[in-house]
Chain A
């Protein structure tokens, strides 16, 4: 039986590193896009905007009930066709795997974040809204300065937990032939036959990043348990 040989990992490190950077970049972009868009979606539902509110509810329900991998496929094949129709000549306009990944993850996460924020909005005490009214704050200032900061604080542990799941889900981009951390490791492992070493090492990397983030969640929980009482 072969003994483990980790030197291969060291040699392959630059390639793994570029895979990790892609995973982190995808997580970061999906987080920002998802949070901004998710907040907007939550507000549309919260204000019960006619028609739009129902559409958003349908969108969120749809995104939350189908697997991410299926959404990736859809966007990869569907968006070029839609763009083709929009551009007028009817021929599909390919947007490429990388764009597909960033757009899909952003839109997919928006659905999850919007649900978290929508529930958070409902949990804000009615008295907070009344205090804002009594102080003559505009609706915009009420939400920007008083309501949303409280929602984001209370929801931040759940939002971060969702983001940790998102980070792990970035490995699904292999279906688009993109190279994230897991993708890089797989390719190298196939190439040099060192599957066990490769998968062990990247498991450790995922573990390290995810548990560091979990620590963050725990400390956030602790902090806001006191100050946001």
Chain B
């Protein structure tokens, strides 16, 4: 049942993320069962699958927000297993965007973006401000820099969350269903921002049900079900000719 990870891009360079035989349990429930995945620098991976299939848990393990129970995770040469003295060293290089944005409501948009670079990267206030404004401009929301998150729409908040993560200059970006909490008319602005980031060469792992986005951006689509990777292929192959029954069922349900 387990697919090996020799995705079409692997081998072109050293993987920036390697996941081997990963196991994660929540009590008696096994959320991830012997998962293997490797992500090459610059690669864009879309993780999809029915809810409860373990996609979110997998990317949350990659920056150790969830602690795994077995197997190995190596991110940017650092192994996230055993003693975790350097976990923040890994997290500095891994940006994450959440379904529910998780912006800091008591800080303005620009302050949201400045906090971590100042505290973690030891940037001066002026440097952090300059970087924040630059990235807010990139996600086209710099004119709202002094507003508070509560004053913005969902799409705007999610773009701020992307800029906030980018301010740490991560080597890889994880997206955990970034458009699932948005009103339909705001999905596009966020996907456009992500697509632009992909074109800039960012390494991305996205959990999303936006199959149009997957088709356009992904180098590889990874389909998960019941805590395991069931199928992985380039988007063209995956959407045209899914090999497994479960992938066909899944695609049948979400593509009308």
* A interface residue numbers (CB < 8 A to B): 125, 127-128, 130-131, 133-138, 141, 145-146, 149-150, 153, 226-229
Q: Please list the residues of chain B having a beta carbon within 8 angstroms of any beta carbon in chain A.
A: 63-65, 88-89, 91-92, 94-96, 98, 100-106, 115-116, 119-120, 148, 150, 164-165, 168
Tell me if A135 and B65 are in contact (CB < 8 A): no
Nearest A residue to B112, CB-CB: A131
- CA A149 to CA B115, docked complex, whole Å: 13
Within the complex, the shortest CB–CB distance from A142 to chain B, in Å, comes to: 9
Q: By the criterion CB–CB under 8 Å, are A137 and B116 in contact?
A: yes
Closest to A228 in B: B105
Contact residues of A: prevailing secondary structure: helix
When A227-B148, A228-B105 are in contact, do A133 and B65 touch as well, CB less than 8 Å? yes
- In the complex, A228 Cα to B104 Cα: how many Å? 9
Choose from A125, A138, A153, A227 the contact partner of B119 (Cβ within 8 Å): A138
A133 CA / B96 CA spacing, docked (Å):
10
Q: Would B119 and A141 count as touching, CB distance under 8 A?
A: yes
Tell me the bound Cα distance from A128 to B102 in angstroms: 6
Chain A neighbourhood of B150, CB < 8 A: 226-229
Pairwise interchain contact B115-A131, C-beta atoms closer than 8 A? no
Extra 14 A-B pairs, beta carbons < 8 Å, given A128-B104, A134-B63, A134-B95: A125-B102, A127-B98, A127-B102, A130-B65, A134-B91, A134-B94, A135-B120, A136-B89, A136-B91, A136-B92, A136-B120, A141-B120, A153-B106, A229-B105
Q: A136-B92, A228-B150 are in contact. Are A130 and B102 (CB under 8 A)?
A: yes
Give bound CA distance, A137 to B88, whole Å. Answer: 8
B240–chain A nearest beta-carbon distance, Å: 35
Which residues of chain B have C-beta atoms less than 8 A from A128's C-beta? 102, 104
Can you list 25 contacts pairing A with B, beta carbon distance less than 8 Å?
A127-B101, A127-B102, A128-B104, A131-B98, A131-B102, A131-B103, A131-B104, A133-B91, A134-B65, A134-B94, A135-B91, A135-B116, A135-B120, A135-B165, A136-B91, A136-B92, A136-B116, A137-B115, A137-B119, A138-B88, A141-B119, A145-B115, A227-B148, A228-B106, A229-B148
| List of A residues within 8 angstroms of B106 by Cβ | 149-150, 153, 227-228
| A-chain residues with CB within 8 Å of residue B100 when the two chains form the complex | 127
B63 closest partner in A (C-beta): A134
